[in-house]
Structure 1
Amino acid sequence: MEDIYFEQDLFCLKVDGKLVKLPLAQVSKKLVSATEIQRNFFKISPSGYGIHWPLLDEDLSVDFMLKVN
């Protein structure tokens, strides 16, 4: 995972040089209702293929997000 950011109601991540933009509603209900601070406070797993939002108690895998796409 090379980059993660949000554009309005889109979750954007760059993996292996490929930029993927997903509607937040398809990714996580918790992220949809989260504040900007909550969304932007995340930790990437040591493997680089998982994301954890401690303030939301939410975990997502890159594999899951690529399947949503």
Structure 2
Amino acid sequence: MKNYHSIKNIKFVEKSLLITIDGKDYKFPLKLISDKLSNAKPEQLNNYKISPSGYGIHWPLLDEDISIDGLLKLKQKKVIYENLL
């Protein structure tokens, strides 16, 4: 099985996802990731499963999945947008 990413230290603080991907720390506002995650209760957010390959994260109580590559692209778009301002 191909390993995509190393995912560690998932935390939810002040409506944001804090996560370490491939040794680098990121912060993503939940409202930019998913309406389901943004509106979820703490017990729903903290019930997640990281795929064995590091491809993504699944929240069974919310029936929500996100890919790590999608998160990284979201971060790249946000940086580009902020640099244009």
**TM tier, smaller:** over 0.9
How many Å separate the matches in 2 of 1:46 and 1:53?
14
How many pairs does the alignment contain? 69
How many Å separate the matches in 2 of 1:66 and 1:14?
11
Asked if residue 30 in structure 1 is aligned to residue 6 in structure 2, the reply is no
More strand per residue: 1 or 2?
A: 1
* Alignment partner of 1:49 out of 45, 48, 55: 55
Deviations 1:34-59 (CA, angstroms, capped at 9, x unpaired): 00000000001110221000000000
How many Å separate the matches in 2 of 1:64 and 1:40?
20
1:1-69 map, 5 Å = 1-69=7-75
Q: Can you give the 5+ residue segments of structure 1 that lack an aligned partner in the other structure?
A: none
Identity of aligned residues (%): 51
Q: Can you give the 5+ residue segments of structure 2 that lack an aligned partner in the other structure?
A: 1-6, 76-85
How many Å separate the matches in 1 of 2:40 and 2:8?
23
Aligned Cα RMSD in Å? Answer: 0.8
How many Å separate the matches in 2 of 1:31 and 1:18?
22
